[in-house]
Chain A
Amino acid sequence: MESNDHEIVQSTDWDRIAAAPEFKDLMAAKKLFIVPAFVFFVAYYFLLPVLVGYAPHFMATKVVGVLNLAYLFALSQFVMAWGIAALYVKAAATFDKLANDILEKTGTHAAGAAEGK
């Protein structure tokens, strides 16, 4: 890449960090949250067009007053999206901490020292 990163970080450092157990823990922690969250939101979202498209009469069932299943399910998608975003922000605080620990431990945090740690 056209930057001067290679002067700061030797190529061996990248492999060393990638092999470190702390880094593997970080990747495992991320995977543990992101993969299920992604699968869940995609499944939850596509349930809406599938049901609305293939079972419009069922989705037109009224639940509260004139409010039907289709509209309430659509509204729930907003809550779902915000909910997952909130959970992710919480989980990501842990990822940030793990990442910072790795950079400090491997002594490569010098490049980011200006960020007031």
Chain B
Amino acid sequence: MSTPLLMFFVFIAATLVITYWASRRSAGGNAYFAANRRISGWQNGVAVAGDYMSAASFLGIAGIIAFQGYDGFMYSVGWLVAYLTVLLVVAEPLRNAGRYTMADVLAYRLRPRPVRAMASISTLTVSTFYMIAQMVGAGSLVALLLKDSGISYRTAVIGVGVLMIVYVVFGGMLATTWVQIVKALLLIAGTILLSFLVLAHFHFSLSEFFNAVGHVTYHDKGRQVTQDFLQPGLRFKPPYGALDLISLGLALIFGTAGLPHILVRFYTVPDAKTARASVVWAMALIGGFYIMTTFLGFGAATIVGRDFIATHGGTNMSAPLLAQALAGNIFFAFICAIAFATILAVVAGLTISASTSFAHDFWAGVVRREAGCKPGEEVLVARVSAFVVGAVAIVIAILLGPTANVAFLVALAFAVAASANLPVIVLSIFWKRFNTAGAVTGLAVGLLASIGLILVSPSVMAIDPQTVTGTARHLIQAKAFFPLENPGIVSIPLGFLGAVLGAVLSHEPSAEQRFNELLVRSNTGLGAEKASAH
């Protein structure tokens, strides 16, 4: 058995032990959906980091920096700064006012049925699209990482999918949390080690390191080029690069605080104060990690080189190949195992947020609102829907295949979170005049604008040469109508506009009457959900 495969199995065994342990503590709604709200501040902070830092940010960022230098680092910056919105605006009111999902905050003073139905659609859209992107990425990555062990794309997708289903169906939020904690600690440890080795390679001299970054040599279309990799502009080019960069920033800054799988994490802690502490812990880890992408990405560019990476698996292999170059095959296997853990923890978080929203918002809040749920029914529905969501993601990922062009699904997830979810969360907490019509139109406009603009963007519309075949081809073979890959700059204002107009054009006295209740509760924690005794 190859070393990477062995390390994968060690990680899988550890997570299955966690799941078994958690499964005996996951009876009842509070336990299953919110880990009894007994996760501590630092634990939740580490789990948020583990939930958030996807393979895209570990392997992807290292690759983008290794190939396009400074512009890749722009992603790193946005991914941390976005947490200020979570910290200052969303985390504490959400924890005080809600129970299991973001829709709880909306349903607090608005008419629950339409609001929950729309919020559930938006949550399922964000979570499943993001999950499909992760699964396709996971399948091709695992197949690449385990190439020597003979693992195919299909086996890898099924393996990742089955594991995420097992964690969520049997271990609920508690197992998901601990898988995310273990993953985050492994990822940070691996990144520190890699950064240390990169610095050691340059004799612990930052100036020697940055001098190398300033003169990176590689071949472009057969010509040898020497490029300063700290110089901006290698990725975001005129005429629309600058606007796309700003639009991306908007989607990150306003989208992170609307990502359902991140928001549900704040229900797992005892109170708002702990939720705040956990954001601070998350910011320390996430910031530390993204600063170190300097060493991962530039290290790969200078030590391994673009030419070598391009012929040995492509951009996503930058970090593992750097590990191999610095410390040999065992370390390569270790970094591969971390990448695998990273993927699993994120898809598990997406699965539980999607199934929680379906069970709590749609099933208990819409379908069975009048009849009421039997004891245990909500959790049962969540388990079944986790299984269904996971199975659907596996099938779609296999049908799409390893070369499918799915990068736009990640942009879509952030755009919907920023354009549909965030406006209605913020307005329902801070604007007395906000009402049901505003929430429904805001969610609908934000969702439709994001999907519509992505469909006519260069991510979906482009004319491919004949050499590109199958699902790797762009969906629509025509010149894009909308020039930006990130729709945020248009869709976020539209989402806010839809929400405000919907509210202004209708009256709902009951929603205004209950505003004081929400205001006092979200700011003082009076009446907030408590941690379960056990």
Contacts and interface: CB of A to CB of B under 8 A. Distances in A.
B77 A53 contact: no
Interface in B198-229: 207, 210-211, 213-214, 228
Interface residues of B, number: 61
A110 to B, nearest CB: 10
B280 A59 contact: no
Interface in A22-38: 23, 26-27, 30, 34, 37-38
A12 B523 CA distance: 17
A53 B526 contact: no
Interface stretch (B239-247, B387-395, B491-499): B239-247
B377 interface: no
Interface of B: 70-71, 73-74, 76-78, 80-81, 83-85, 87-89, 99, 104, 107-108, 207, 210-211, 213-214, 228, 230-233, 236, 241-243, 245-246, 248-249, 253, 271, 273, 276-277, 279-280, 283-284, 287, 290-291, 516-517, 519-521, 523-527, 529-530
Contact of B230 (A17, A68, A103): A68
Q: Which of under 10, 10 to 19, 20 to 34, or 35 or more describes the interface residues of A? A: 35 or more
Nearest to B286: A81
Contact of A81 (B70, B84, B271): B84
Given A34-B89, A66-B210, A66-B214, A96 B74 contact: no
Contacts of A112: 525-526, 530
Given A5-B527, A23-B520, A38-B85, 13 more contacts: A1-B99, A3-B99, A8-B527, A17-B516, A17-B520, A27-B519, A46-B246, A52-B245, A66-B228, A68-B230, A70-B70, A78-B80, A111-B526
A15 B518 CA distance: 10
A59 B236 CA distance: 14
Interface in A72-86: 74-75, 77-78, 80-82, 84-85
Interface string A97-117: 001001100001001101100
A1 B526 contact: no
B290 A71 contact: no
B427 to A, nearest CB: 15
A98 B230 CA distance: 47
Contact of B523 (A5, A26, A108, A111): A26
B214, B271, B526 pick with most chain A CB within 10 angstroms: B526
Contact of B211 (A52, A53, A65): A65
A108 B526 contact: yes
Nearest to B365: A2
Contact of A89 (B210, B233, B276): B276
B37 to A, nearest CB: 13
B213 to A, nearest CB: 7
Nearest to A96: B273
Nearest to B250: A46
A49 B233 CA distance: 11
Q: 5 smallest A-B Cβ distances: which pairs?
A: A53-B242, A66-B214, A5-B527, A18-B516, A14-B517
B283 A53 contact: no
Contacts of A42: 253
Given A49-B74, A88-B87, A1 B520 contact: no
A82 B532 CA distance: 32
A17 B245 contact: no
A84 B248 CA distance: 22
A30, A38, A54, A78 pick with most chain B CB within 10 angstroms: A78
Nearest to A14: B517
Contacts of B290: 78
Nearest to B107: A1
